[in-house]
Amino acid sequence: MKALTPLPLSELPEWSPWPARLLGLEPWSIPVRTTKKIEQEYDLDKYGSCLKFFQNSNRDDLTPESILNYQQGKDLTAPTCVSVGDELFTMPLGEALLHQDLLRLEALNDAMKKARVVVELGCGYGYNLWRLHQKFPDKLYVGGEYSKNAVKLASMLFKNNPTIKVQEFDFYTAHYGLLDSYKASGPMVIFTAHAIEQLPSAVHVIKTLMPFGKMIQDIVLFEPIHELYDRSLLGLLCRRYTEVNDYNRDLLTCLRRYSEIRIDDLQAHAFGLNPLHPTSTIRCTFK
């Protein structure tokens, strides 16, 4: 990995306000991750802003990458603090975003070669689907997303690309109907990227996917895993960060609970664009 500069943990407060918040030295209101909060934080604030940016640009050449860069709100050459495993580093923001992309492409690579349909649950406006499409253009890409503004933005971004489709989706529904349309389309890969983190429990997701087990070839999850944080200082900070932000804390426990699921690969804390909320990768299959 290029452009990595080691950073001592003692210098983390210079890069993030969270150590002071977690120690109670700065005010912070602990949120409850309700549907209402998700709508405000993501549909209205995050994706609503992206949609307005796209609509006001009056340009037809904007890509999902253009939207992602706009979301950052800062210079992509500026250094940012990241984590790799249990160590901290600084690197240019643009390089960090690229490494995050490469991590997902590498983890999905083998599964993608055999799949016909690729589904991302909680896909936002489809950035990850677009990146995968660039490498594997012969697949059908399907995204499910709760935010209406994100779905609307995706319809504009991919209006000339019939192989990428994003539609409304709710993790809490009793049946994931968007998968029904693709039962006869061939082997399916399902993945998530910092989406299950929004759910208090992963139990419902796993149970709802089980009826589709025969059509799902692989499930690849790019999620922070609370159960993997150790008792080191960085691990304790990550654990507390998850708790005060009311992020998911039972994903790995749920996967291990069901005998129908086999975990084929697990990489803890592979990369943290936010070093207190690093991405782990889990690849699993239905037996």
Mean pLDDT, residues 134-150: 96
Fold type of domain 5-19+31-286: Rossmann fold (3.40.50)
Q: How far apart are CA 199 and CA 262, in angstroms?
A: 22
User: Residue 2: what pLDDT?
Assistant: 63
User: Residue 27: what pLDDT?
Assistant: 82
Q: Is the pLDDT of residue 79 over 80?
A: yes
Domain ranges of the chain: 5-19+31-286
User: Residue 183: what pLDDT?
Assistant: 86
- 84-141 pLDDT, tens digit each: 999 999 999 999 999 999 999 999 999 998 899 999 999 999 999 999 999 999 999 9
Q: How far apart are CA 155 and CA 104, in angstroms?
A: 23
Read off the pLDDT band of 221 (50, 70, 90): very high
Taking the C-alpha atoms of 72, 75, 76 and 77 in order, what is their torsion angle to the nearest 10 degrees?
A: -160
User: Residue 1: what pLDDT?
Assistant: 61
Read off the pLDDT band of 35 (50, 70, 90): confident
Q: Is the pLDDT of residue 37 over 80?
A: no
- 160-197 pLDDT, tens digit each: 999 999 999 999 999 999 999 898 888 999 999 999 99
Task: Report long-range pairs for 284-287 (Cβ below 8 Å, ≥24 apart).
Answer: 284/218, 284/219, 284/221, 284/255, 285/216, 285/217, 285/218, 285/219, 285/261, 286/210, 286/213, 286/214, 286/216, 286/219, 286/260, 286/261, 286/262, 287/259, 287/260, 287/261, 287/262
Mean pLDDT, residues 255-282: 96
Mean pLDDT, residues 247-261: 95
User: Residue 59: what pLDDT?
Assistant: 79
Q: How far apart are CA 123 and CA 155, in angstroms?
A: 13
pLDDT mean across residues, the chain = 94
Mean pLDDT, residues 254-270: 96
User: Residue 256: what pLDDT?
Assistant: 96
Q: Is the pLDDT of residue 226 over 80?
A: yes
Mean pLDDT, residues 144-165: 96
Task: Report the 10 Å Cβ neighbour count for 138.
Answer: 7
User: Residue 122: what pLDDT?
Assistant: 97
Q: Give 68's contacts (C-beta < 8 A, 6+ positions apart).
A: 97, 127
